Amino acid sequence: MTGWRYDVWVCGTDHAESSDHDGSCGIWERKGIHWNGKWFDAFEEAALRGHALVEAIPVGLEGGWKHHTVFEHVRGGGLCKGCWDKHGNTHAEHILEGSAGHCRPCTDVQKRRGPLTRTPNGQVFMCEDCRTAFLRHHEERARGERRDPDARLYRPVLDVAREDAGA
Total number of domains constituting the chain: 2
| Whether residue 89 sits in one domain with residue 13 | no
Among 85-89, 99-103, 159-163, top mean pLDDT goes to: 159-163
Query: What's this model's pTM, rounded to 2 decimal places?
Result: 0.83
Q: The domain containing residue 17 runs over which residues?
A: 3-74
| Whether residue 116 sits in one domain with residue 47 | no
Express each pLDDT in 13-66 by its tens digit.
Answer: 888 888 888 877 889 999 999 999 999 999 999 999 999 999 999 999 988 899
| Whether residue 128 sits in one domain with residue 64 | no
Question: How far apart, in whole angstroms, are the C-alpha atoms of residue 39 and residue 8?
Answer: 10
